[in-house]
Chain A
Amino acid sequence: MRKIHIAAGLAALAVAGWLLPPYYAGLVVDGLIFAIFALGVNLLLGHTGLPSLGHAAYFGMGAYAAGLTAIHVSQSFWIGAAAGIGGALLLGAVYGLLALRTAGVYFLMITLALGQIAWAVAFSWRRVTGGDDGLRGVPRPDLGIPGLLDDRNAYFLFALACCIAAGLLMAAIIRSPFGRSLRGIHENPQRMEALGYRVWLHKYLAFVLSAGFSGFAGVVFVYYKGFVSPEAASIVISAEAMLMVIVGGAATTFGPVVGAFIIITLSHVVSGYTDRWPLILGLLYIAVVLLAPQGVVALARRHLLRRAVR
């Protein structure tokens, strides 16, 4: 895709965000938050080939850390984000040491268990996290001007900016030599090892970075909603993030963003029309895995390529 197309698309999105009624702007913000989350999951899943079923732990950590900071310490975005991302990075660093002792299906299981432990902490530690009642009353960041982001459309632009920043950073990581090494490790770890790459270190860094991105998504989430509950760290969220990556396209750069928007839109639209939406969501998981395992972006690319080349 040409850069001018992307820029035009983003500009259109910004304009639309300003004009959309607050309810719809809110839905797009949801999409942007999960887009950042999915980008993080993709770094680990799509590029390094490590499927994690517990990534919501970092999302939740980012949200709780930023939320607690905003309530008790400071309404500054930078401090809150630093707390959120920092917390997520720390959790990722600790969890990564444990998780990377395993591979394949065992990696899946240990990340599942670690994710559940994070959820259990959020649920049990009432004094800090509010337990199952959740943490509420998180104020919007003030960015220097009090009340600037109270308006939902204003927050939309802010979330868009965050998402663009995350996307650019992710694109830079993916295109860098580090990113290419990750894909090499995905394909053939033994060969990379033989070539002299420190495979474990690469995996570990990818793990921690991916946790950081997920934590950043949590920060944007808690500032938007004004609250967070242990649900945010649940396995259902982790699975949804994985699905967004798969639907969008696992090995692509921006596939996860597309996937996030597709899933968010579908789940809101569908649940508005029928109570049977878990059924439909489940069928979607099955359909995507069987019919479009490469994801939407890859499908679209192939389709457009076929049309363009002759």
Chain B
Amino acid sequence: MMQRVLRCRASRRPGRCRYWWDQYSADNQGANDMMRKFAAATVVAAVAAGTSWGATAQETVRIGVLGPNTGPYAVIGEEVKNGFEMFFAEKGNKAGNVKVEVLFEDDQAKPDVGMTKAQKLVERDKVAFLGGVVSSSVAYALRDYAVNQNVPLVVTVASADGLTQKQAAPVIFRTNSSGSQASHPFGKWLADQGYKRLVMMAPNYAMGYEQTGGFARTFTAAGGKIVKSLYPPLGAADFGPFLTAFDPKQADALAAVFAGAEAIKYVKQFSEYGLKGTIPLVGTSLLTDDLILAQQGDAAIGITTAMHYSSALDNPENKAFVDAYQKRYNRTPTFYSEGSYVGARVIHDALVARNGDTKDKPALLKAMHDVDFVAPRGRFRFDDRNSPINDIYVFRVEKEGGKLVNKPIAKFDSISQFYTWTPEAFMAMPDYASVANDWAK
């Protein structure tokens, strides 16, 4: 039974009321009723939600792309998104006769968020493929999930070696070079160019260890010597202490790999501390990727790096790719977007080969494994563990028409993640993270 009553609420003027009409229920029943109704409603809703989520008929194939859309790596996440989006836009969002829908989720570069989003994509949104992934720790966490759910995972940025080595699986694919892939031939090239002593620097986590470990291994095998190795903590604001912790006269080159904001700081500080012109700086192209090159300015000129891609590669596929990307997103693509573009193509070509059938998993995985096409980087195909066999280029940063580019000056054909070793021999060696401090002994 509802009644209205005039109530008094304290007001600023002492002794006065702010009156208002309040409605209340004249007995206890109301509260208990409310509780019971609420409880019943919850149960009904839960049951309804559970049963109504049956499989909806699927003519569209969905792809779930994960990447960090927030936080310090947001700009790489954007590259991943762009790569997938542009590819499928070019194909009219179709793969042959089948419609394709790409869903993007933010993994915040955190493994448990990535897991939850992957679960959402696979279980709720019923995606047939997972793709993207920037952070290696997210990639490792998702690897087990993808294997358990038998959903193909196409990693387009995360470079952790292990994903296609000790943790390889038929559902795991990689379109970016593995962490040490570009470094192996580069180390030997440095030795061939006459460098005898190197100082190495990289951030103190897996990416750093793998990228530099690769050239340490081949450089020392070719007779070179690593004089010193330094691993600044990830997120170091200031490389001053590290850049000045060695004597430039002790070495023929400084081999360093940093990425993103760190790479910008590093290259600039390298110049400010007078090292530019005193000692050459070499590394992998994470150090001078197309996104950050403009920020680094003239300090970057002359840096020699190795990777499977730069926007300055001179072939028809790449020209078309760079033009289209420039037109669509108003900036130059990087190997992050190229990797995602290629990843999208792997999925697309497999779907076309299978006529849109995603139910026959072994056949689908085989179709994905067997892709062989010309990508902006050149010929693209997988090795036995679904890691790409790429041409690796040596690039030098030069100014061309007022703009800084990574210009190719040398090329190594068809390099796989294992370089000249057999897979067994390579994986029998200790992983790069555990030997990081041993090179300079």
Contact = CB atoms under 8 A, between A and B. Distances in A.
Q: Quick check: do A and B touch in the complex, using CB within 8 A?
A: yes
25 contacts: A12-B43, A15-B46, A16-B42, A16-B50, A20-B46, A20-B50, A21-B124, A22-B123, A23-B119, A24-B49, A124-B204, A132-B136, A132-B137, A133-B136, A134-B111, A136-B144, A225-B112, A226-B141, A227-B144, A229-B112, A229-B137, A271-B106, A272-B120, A277-B106, A278-B70
B110 A308 contact: no
B159 to A, nearest CB: 12
A195 interface: no
Given A12-B43, A272-B120, A277-B70, A226 B144 contact: yes
Given A5-B35, A227-B141, A307-B30, A23 B120 contact: yes
B53 interface: yes
Nearest to B5: A310
Nearest to B27: A310
**Chain B: number of interface residues, binned into ranges:** 35 or more
Interface string A158-199: 000000000000000000000000000000000000000000
A12 B136 contact: no
Residue in A133, A137, A226, A304 whose Cβ sees the most chain B Cβ within 10 Å: A133
Nearest to A25: B50
Interface residues of A, number: 42
Nearest to A234: B110
A22 B39 CA distance: 22
Nearest to A306: B24
A231 B110 contact: yes
B160 interface: yes
Contact of A19 (B25, B30, B31, B51): B51
B140 A275 contact: no
A23 to B, nearest CB: 4
B262 to A, nearest CB: 14
A23 B141 contact: no
Given A24-B49, A26-B116, A15 B234 contact: no
Given A136-B141, A231-B112, A8 B53 contact: no
Contacts of B136: 132-133
A219 to B, nearest CB: 15
B28 interface: yes
B205 interface: yes
A132 B140 CA distance: 11
B24 A275 contact: no
B31 A307 contact: yes
B57 interface: no
Given A133-B206, A229-B111, A21 B234 contact: no
B285 interface: no
Given A15-B43, A136-B140, A131 B24 contact: no
Given A15-B43, A23-B120, A304-B31, A131 B111 contact: no
B245 interface: no
A49 to B, nearest CB: 28
Contact of A23 (B105, B106, B111, B123): B123
Nearest to A23: B123
Contacts of A268: 116
B140 A133 contact: yes
Interface string A17-39: 00111111011001000000000
Given A12-B42, A21-B123, A134-B111, A30 B116 contact: yes
A9 interface: yes
B137 A134 contact: yes
A290 B25 CA distance: 30
B160 to A, nearest CB: 7
A302 interface: no
B47 interface: yes
Contacts of A277: 70, 106
Contact of B50 (A19, A136, A271): A19
Given A20-B50, A225-B112, A229-B111, A134 B119 contact: no
A133 B124 CA distance: 27
Most buried by B among A9, A30, A123, A271: A271
B69 A275 contact: yes
A310 B24 CA distance: 8
A133 B144 CA distance: 14
B220 to A, nearest CB: 22
B26 interface: yes
Given A132-B137, A304-B31, 6 more contacts: A9-B39, A16-B46, A21-B53, A225-B111, A226-B141, A306-B24
Interface string A90-128: 000000000000000000000000000000000110110
A137 B147 CA distance: 12
B300 interface: no
Interface in A258-310: 268, 271-272, 275, 277-278, 304, 306-308, 310
Given A20-B46, A20-B50, A225 B115 contact: yes
A12 B39 contact: yes
For the complex of A and B, 7 pairs with smallest distance between CB atoms: A16-B46, A19-B50, A23-B123, A308-B31, A12-B43, A132-B205, A275-B69
A307 B33 CA distance: 12
